[in-house]
């Protein structure tokens, strides 16, 4: 009880001055009345954009969650490909696919969607540096056959190509979005039910209903998205009514909120301790093993997540129901071995409120195992470059494992492939690369799933990273909101069906 009281006191102390762009409670009541009249919804986003909302970065997922940018293909909740901006597709030979582009679609700037616009967007993604991670190790040749048909040639028989094209980082934008200097400005350039009309840096964004949308007209007129990296502040925004939909309410705040406003969503997201395989300490396999044996997952889940998470037996969690039944039983780690006072620095970020607490517990656990541990904790936007350049001995990351294609191979290639674009562990293994390449060549279904688990086991056998737990994200929704999207794949938050009372 004392632990919870301390957490609550700290939460309240932090939340009050950090409510970001949201108004005071009194102002919120006045705002609510005005909002109801003009059908406006206010969203508290967890992380600010890092590249000005460029679709060629992870900012693409904001554009997707706001239903402003769309892709050729959509994924169903079962990760099956279905039409979006492409209506029909077929594999005409092992290396060639044809896609038929939906007719009657207008971009928000008034221009018409056609095959040339599709080719332009996909080519910009292929030419980007770095490439969107769904294209790691992938070379495509994209050609407009006529105004309504696009041909895509691959370098290998790729059964996952339609699913790859569902990645928000491969959104199709109007030609006007792409600047000569390489920047991509998505305002007025999407095809979704909401038009992005304002980008206010790392403070907020504004969207308006697009009445020329090709599909069902949106129920609400305006979306105000405000960036609130502090989790306690996001919870405060829900509690005071200054936000209608809130991303990732911290577990520590659940007890302070009306349970009717909270919705738990099982996520294909793994909280992982990435070990820097090129650091002076963790380049040594034996010390990676010592770190792995020191981790007490049950303590982390019980203490930090208050049992709102699942113990990680591998990289892929219970949201992928097929993984556990075909995963071999893990070999027991040798206990009792300790480090000899080696100094390590562990980095993580504050945007996910639980991660600093996870870091504090891991520090204690690793110090018991003989390491000297220093923590470096900042906002994600301030720490990402250092993490990717290998400046930490270890890094704690909450990582979506099927975010891009509904298939975990792209995530594993990105994080653990020698040429991976998000290789926090600076890890490279020919054996692992061969296993990942093999998995990526397999047809969808049981054969591919077995190959994925084989690759997972090779990664874990090298102790490239230590999976800690699988998250269940808590989404906050005010009483005036109905049909906000509770999406395990984190691709949608607001859509055409979302409305306010």
pLDDT beyond 90 at 430: yes
Q: What is the pLDDT of residues 360-378, one digit of tens each?
A: 999 999 999 999 999 999 9
In the three-class reduction of DSSP (H, G, I as helix; E, B as strand; rest coil), residue 123 is classed as helix
75 vs 82: CA distance, rounded Å:
6
Partner residues linked to 465 by β-bridges? 274
pTM: 0.76
Please enumerate in sequence order all residues whose Cβ is within 8 A of that of 211, keeping only pairs 6 or more positions apart, or say none. 217
Identify the pLDDT of residue 400: 87
353 vs 136: CA distance, rounded Å:
30
No. of H helices and E strands in the chain? 14, 19
Q: What is the pLDDT of residues 219-237, one digit of tens each?
A: 999 999 999 999 999 999 9
Q: How confident is the model at residue 37 (pLDDT cuts 50, 70, 90)?
A: low
Q: What percent of the chain has pLDDT above 70? A: 92
136 vs 130: CA distance, rounded Å:
9
Identify the pLDDT of residue 403: 66
Residue 75 or 494, more confident? 494
457 vs 435: CA distance, rounded Å:
10
170 vs 121: CA distance, rounded Å:
7
Q: What percent of the chain has pLDDT above 90? A: 77
Q: What average pLDDT does the chain have?
A: 90
Q: What is the pLDDT of residues 101-150, one digit of tens each?
A: 999 999 999 999 999 999 999 999 999 988 888 888 789 999 999 999 99
- Ordered structural domains, the chain, with CATH: 2-67+192-244+478-500 (3.40.190.10), 73-177 (3.90.76.10), 266-472 (3.10.105.10)
Q: How confident is the model at residue 6 (pLDDT cuts 50, 70, 90)?
A: very low
Identify the pLDDT of residue 17: 39
Reported residue count of the chain is 501
Q: What is the pLDDT of residues 299-354, one digit of tens each?
A: 999 999 999 999 999 999 988 889 999 999 988 887 778 999 999 999 999 988 89
């Amino acid at each position: 009880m004392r632990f919870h009281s301390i957490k609550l006191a700290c939460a309240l102390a932090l939340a009050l001055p950090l409510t970001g762009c949201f108004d005071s409670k009194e102002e919120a009541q006045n705002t609510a009345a005005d909002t109801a009249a003009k059908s406006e919804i206010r969203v508290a986003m967890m992380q600010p954009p890092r590249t000005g909302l460029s679709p060629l970065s992870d900012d693409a997922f904001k554009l997707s969650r706001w239903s402003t940018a769309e892709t050729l293909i959509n994924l169903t909740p079962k990760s099956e490909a279905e039409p979006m901006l492409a209506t029909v597709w077929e594999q005409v030979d092992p290396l060639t696919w044809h896609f038929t582009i939906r007719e009657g679609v207008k971009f928000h700037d008034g221009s018409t969607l056609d095959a040339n616009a599709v080719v332009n967007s996909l080519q910009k993604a292929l030419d980007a540096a770095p490439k969107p991670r769904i294209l790691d190790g992938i070379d495509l040749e994209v050609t407009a056959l006529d105004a309504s048909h696009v041909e895509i040639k691959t370098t290998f028989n790729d059964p996952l190509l339609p699913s790859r094209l569902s990645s928000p980082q491969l959104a199709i934008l109007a030609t006007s979005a792409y600047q000569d200097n390489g920047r991509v400005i998505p305002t007025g350039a999407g095809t979704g039910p909401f038009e992005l009309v304002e980008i206010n840096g790392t403070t907020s964004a504004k969207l308006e209903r697009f009445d020329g949308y090709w599909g069902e007209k949106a129920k609400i007129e305006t979306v105000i998205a405000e960036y609130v990296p502090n989790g306690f502040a996001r919870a405060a925004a829900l509690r005071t009514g200054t936000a209608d939909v809130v991303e990732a309410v911290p577990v520590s705040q659940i007890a302070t909120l009306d349970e009717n406003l909270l919705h738990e969503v099982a996520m294909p997201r793994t909280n992982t301790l990435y070990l820097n395989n090129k650091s002076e300490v963790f380049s040594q396999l034996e010390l990676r093993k010592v770190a792995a044996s020191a981790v007490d997952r049950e303590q982390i889940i019980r203490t930090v997540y208050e049992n709102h998470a699942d113990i990680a037996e591998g990289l892929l969690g219970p949201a992928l129901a097929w993984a556990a039944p075909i995963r071999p039983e893990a070999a027991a780690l040798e206990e009792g071995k300790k480090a000899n006072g080696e100094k390590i620095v562990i980095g993580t970020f504050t945007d996910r409120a639980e991660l600093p607490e996870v870091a504090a517990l891991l520090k204690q656990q690793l110090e018991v195992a003989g390491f000297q541990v220093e923590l470096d904790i900042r906002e994600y936007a301030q720490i990402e470059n250092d993490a990717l350049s290998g400046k930490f001995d270890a890094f704690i990351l909450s990582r979506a494992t099927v975010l891009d294609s509904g298939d975990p191979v792209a995530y594993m290639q990105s994080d653990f492939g020698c040429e991976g674009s998000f290789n926090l562990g600076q890890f490279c293994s020919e054996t692992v690369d061969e296993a990942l390449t093999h998995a990526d060549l397999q047809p969808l279904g049981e054969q591919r799933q077995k190959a994925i688990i084989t690759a997972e086991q090779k990664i874990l056998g090298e102790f490239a990273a230590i999976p800690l737990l699988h998250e269940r994200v808590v989404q906050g929704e005010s009483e005036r909101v109905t049909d906000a999207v509770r999406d395990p794949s984190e691709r949608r938050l607001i859509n055409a069906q979302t409305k306010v009372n």
